[in-house]
Amino acid sequence: MTDTTLPQSSRDAHDIAHLEIVPRKHVGRMIFAAIVVLMVALLIRAFVVGQIEWPVVGQFLFAPAIIQGIWNTLLMTVAAMSLGIALGVLIAIMRISGNPVLEYIALVYVWIFRGAPALLQLLLWFNLALIFPTIGIPGLFEFSTVEVMTPFVAAMLGLGIQQGAYTSEVVRSGLLSVDVGQYEAARTIGMTGMQTLRRIVLPQAMRVMVPPVGNEVISMVKLTSLASVIQYSEILHNAQVIYYANTRVLELLMVASFWYLAIVTVLSLVQSRIERYYARGTRGRTTI
Amino acid sequence: MTNEILVKAVDVCKSFGTFQALQEVSLEVRKGEVNCIIGPSGSGKSTFLRCINLLERIDSGAIWANGELIGYRRDGNKLYEMSDAEIARQRRGIGMVFQRFNLFPHKTALENVIEGPVQVLGENPKTAREHALVLLNRVGLADKAGSYPAELSGGQQQRVAIARALGMRPSLILFDEPTSALDPELVAEVLDVMNDLAASGMTMIVVTHEMGFARNVSNTVAFMDGGRLIEHGPSARVLTQPENPRTVDFLKAVQR
Over range A208-217, report the average pLDDT: 90
Predicted confidence band of residue A229 (pLDDT cuts 50, 70, 90): very high
Asked whether the beta carbons of A204 and A178 are under 8 A apart, the reply is yes
Residue A81 CA from chain centroid, whole number: 10
Count the Cβ atoms, other than its own, within 10 Å of residue B18: 5
d(CA A60, CA A66): 7
> Residue ranges per domain, chain A?
64-275
Q: Please report, for residues A39, A167, A212, B54, B73, the alpha-carbon distance to residue A176 in angstroms, rounded to integers and kept in the order given.
A: 46, 14, 15, 22, 32
Over range A236-261, report the average pLDDT: 94
d(CA B104, CA B114): 12
Residue in A181, A190, A204 closest to B106 by CB: A204
d(CA B162, CA B135): 9
Which residues are registered as beta bridge partners of B19? B16
- Residue A283: what pLDDT? 59
Sign, CA dihedral B1-B3-B8-B11, equals: positive
Higher pLDDT, A18 or B232: B232
> Residue ranges per domain, chain B?
5-93+172-255, 103-170
Query: B181-195 burial, b for 16+ CB within 10 Å, e for fewer?
Result: ebeeebbebbbebbe
- Residue A51: what pLDDT? 83
Nearest to A121 by CA among A216, A219, A229, A215: A229
Percent of chain A having pLDDT more than 90? 66
Which A residues in the span 143-182 are in contact with B, Cβ-Cβ below 8 Å? 179, 181-182
Residue A2 clears pLDDT 70, i.e. is over it: no
Q: Please report, for residues A221, B204, B211, B244, the alpha-carbon distance to residue B207 in angstroms, rounded to integers and kept in the order given.
A: 55, 10, 11, 20
d(CA A114, CA A84): 12
- Residue B1: what pLDDT? 63
Residue A162 clears pLDDT 80, i.e. is over it: yes
Task: Tell me whether residue B57 is exposed, middle or buried, using C-beta atoms within 10 angstroms of its C-beta: 0 to 12, 13 to 18, 19 or more.
Answer: exposed
d(CA A63, CA A248): 14
- Residue A1: what pLDDT? 53
Nearest to A256 by CA among A245, A271, A268, A242: A242
Please tell me if residue A184 touches chain B, with a CB cutoff of 8 Å.
yes
Which residues are registered as beta bridge partners of B205? B35, B174
Residue A282 clears pLDDT 80, i.e. is over it: no
Residue B109 CA from chain centroid, whole number: 20
- Residue A136: what pLDDT? 82
Residue A97 CA from chain centroid, whole number: 27
Over range A159-180, report the average pLDDT: 94
- Residue A276: what pLDDT? 83
CB contact under 8 A, A189 and B91: yes
Nearest to A189 by CA among B12, B236, B252, B112: B112
Quote the crossing angle between the two packed helices B184-199 and B154-167, to the nearest 10°: 20
pLDDT digits (tens, 9 = 90+) for A119-141: 999 999 999 888 888 888 887 78
The interface pTM score, or ipTM, of the predicted complex is 0.92
Interface test with B, best of A183, A184, A188, A210 (most B CBs within 10 A): A188
Shortest Cα distance, chain A CAs vs residue B102, angstroms: 6
Over range A272-276, report the average pLDDT: 85
Residue A285 clears pLDDT 70, i.e. is over it: no
Report the chain A residue with the minimal C-alpha distance to residue B114. Answer: A189
d(CA B252, CA B256): 6
Report the chain A residue with the minimal C-alpha distance to residue B175. Answer: A188
In this structure, which topology does domain A64-275 adopt according to CATH? MetI-like fold (1.10.3720)
- Residue A284: what pLDDT? 53
d(CA A226, CA A214): 20
- Residue B256: what pLDDT? 64
Name the superfamily (CATH) of residues B5-93+172-255: P-loop containing nucleotide triphosphate hydrolases (3.40.50.300)
pLDDT digits (tens, 9 = 90+) for A74-98: 999 999 999 999 999 999 999 988 8
The helix/strand/coil state of B124 is coil
HEC sequence for B129-174: HHHHHHHHHHCCCHHHCCCCHHHCCHHHHHHHHHHHHHHCCCCEEE
Over range A89-113, report the average pLDDT: 93
Q: Count Cβ–Cβ pairs < 8 Å, chain A vs chain B.
A: 79
CB contact under 8 A, B89 and A190: yes
Sorted by sequence, the CB contacts under 8 Å of residue A185 that are 6+ apart come out as A200, B96, B98, B102, B103, B104
d(CA B139, CA B193): 6
Ranges of chain B with pLDDT below 70: 1, 256
Please tell me if residue A121 touches chain B, with a CB cutoff of 8 Å.
no
d(CA A28, CA A38): 16
0.90 surpassed by pTM = no
d(CA A109, CA B6): 50
Sorted by sequence, the CB contacts under 8 Å of residue B224 that are 6+ apart come out as B25, B37, B38, B39, B43, B44, B45, B48, B230
